[in-house]
Amino acid sequence: MSRRVRSRTQKRVFRCTVCGETAPAAKGRGPRTGPGHVKHMWCVRCREVTEHRQEE
């Protein structure tokens, strides 16, 4: 009998390119992303969707 292996989620930290606020984001399956990866996310401080760049 085989067991299913769950992959761990990748925890990433993004920084807003407008105001510098940091925001966490989790990633499940798929290839890992590295520093410099750009994601458009809602910024709490700017109160709009802005570009965020991945750190770490």
Whole-prediction pTM: 0.80
Contact 50, 15 (CB under 8 A): no
5 in a structural domain = no
Contact 18, 46 (CB under 8 A): yes
Predicted confidence at residue 4, as pLDDT, reads: 78
Alpha-carbon distance of 37 to 13, in angstroms, equals 10
Predicted confidence at residue 23, as pLDDT, reads: 96
16 in a structural domain = yes
Domain count, the chain: 1
DSSP for 5-34 reads -PPPPEEEEEEETTT--EEEEEE-SS----
Predicted confidence at residue 1, as pLDDT, reads: 64
2 in a structural domain = no
Tens digits of residue pLDDT in 1-56:
678 777 788 899 999 999 999 999 998 888 888 999 999 999 999 999 999 999 97
4 in a structural domain = no
User: Which one, of 25, 26, 24, 18, lies nearest residue 45 by Cα?
Assistant: 18
Give the distance, in angstroms, between the CA of residue 18 and the centroid of all CA atoms in the same chain. 16
